[in-house]
Amino acid sequence: MARTPKDEDDTKAVPTGRISRFARVAKLAGGVAGGMLAEGTRQWRAGNRPRRRDLIMTPANARRVANQLAEMRGAAMKLGQILSMDTGDMLPRELADILARLRSDASAMPVEQLQQTMTEAYGEDWEALFYDFDFKPLAAASIGQVHKTTSPDGRSIVLKVQYPGVRESIDNDVDNIATVLRLSGLLPQGVDLTPLLSDAKVQLRDEADYLKEADFLAAFGEVLADDERFILPQVLPELTHSSVLAMTYVSGSPIENIAYQPQEERDRVMTALLDLMLTELFELAMVQTDPNFANYQYKQSTGEIVLLDFGATRHFKKRFVNNYRKLAAAAIAGDRKGIAVAADKLGYAVGEENSEYQELVLELFLLALEPLSQEGSYDFGRSDMPARMSELGESITDYRDFWKAPPTDAVYFHRKLGGMFMLASRLKARVNVNELMQQWL
């Protein structure tokens, strides 16, 4: 989720070189180790014998992790976002909560770095190309920041400007952060994140290529051209580069503002967004996987939903889509054996048939897909599902020997699914999700 910087003092330079970025990671590792030593000394003096995990997950250490990743931005920050959204309850809940901060904390880059990127894209005289370029960004996120300006033909547009060095640092950032998380004990021992991290590198390279994002934006614009519920910016190909994405400016207010609208309108908007999510997966097999609230706005004058930021769009394999359809159908039917078979085909570790571990996994799936299974409208505002999920998640920690990294496609789709649940809860929306799902079964 991008945030709006308050003023020039709210900027922080993005470390660009391999050495400078590695130095930030080393600083992070040293800070975590120092924090462990200080906390351990304090606990021993108090006559306690703390566990290693308790020493690692102090509030101070958690802040160190989140703050350093937020300052680095780029792949380091994105990796923290991905891990915080859905890792099959592998992360300690304290770390997941802290990493969740990365979905909203980002500082803008200084003007000098902004000038550098704009010059590389448009040349030394880039300022003469645009009118009224606003050096204060509308928003700043993990990979870039957005500036409003006027195009040469007089249209109001925005430029999404990438932070310098982000694209080149992806592989090293992912490897270095993963190493720190492993060595510090912040990730459970024995869990192989290699497939997830390898795919994260590919996904992040795609997100850092604004020409690809332009293609995704154009594709969604074509698909939704006749859908009066949504409005999207239009790409300006002649002004778009791999590090600067030029789009028409579409105004709107934060999507959360409709929390003050009548129940009927809140329900309509959330129904449209959930309907779009299911269409993306089951019809297009192409999902915008970043559900951060800032990617959605609302035009009160027309009731249209503004869709922004398609960098995290992902193509899904047909096999995944078909197996997820079977998983949803089994959950709706209460078919526990069907859930186990579909989850196994998706790549989840479901354990032996009739084992306590498998029963726990099945309960988690049934709970997570509860909105699909309930006939009639599901009241997201009154749902206590997150608390029940948390309680079940605590139980699964007794079965660490069964853990493995979740299937990568599932991680990205559940990132979207979880974000949609959070938004529906914030809006206190009531949606007949079962009815929306039936058309895809």
Cite the active site residues.
290
Do the beta carbons of residue 242 and residue 211 sit within 8 Å? yes
DSSP designation for 280 = I
CA-closest candidate to residue 292, choices 426, 146, 137, 419: 419
Helix H segments across 208-262? 210-223
In whole angstroms, how far apart are CA 125 and each of 30, 80, 109, 219? 44, 37, 20, 32
b/e string for 67-78 if b means 16 or more Cβ within 10 A? bbbbbbbbbbbb
CA-closest candidate to residue 146, choices 159, 132, 133: 159
Tell the residue number behind the tokens 């196994």, with chain if given: 344
Helix H segments across 262-335? 263-279, 318-333
Return d(Cα 359, Cα 392) in angstroms, integer: 11
Angle between helices 194-207 and 170-183 (to 10 degrees): 150
DSSP designation for 10 = G
Q: What's the gap between Cα 157 and its chain centre? A: 25
Return d(Cα 191, Cα 114) in angstroms, integer: 40
Query: What's 11-53 look like in SS3?
Result: ECCCCCCHHHHHHHHHHHHHHHHHHHHHHHHHHHHCCCCCCHH
Do the beta carbons of residue 425 and residue 378 sit within 8 Å? no
Return d(Cα 438, Cα 332) in angstroms, integer: 10
Residue 349 tokens, joined: 């570790």
Return d(Cα 409, Cα 413) in angstroms, integer: 6
First to last CA, the chain: 32
Return d(Cα 401, Cα 191) in angstroms, integer: 9
b/e string for 404-431 if b means 16 or more Cβ within 10 A? ebbbbbbbbbbbbbbbbbbbbbbbbbbb
CA-closest candidate to residue 19, choices 163, 173, 164, 144: 173
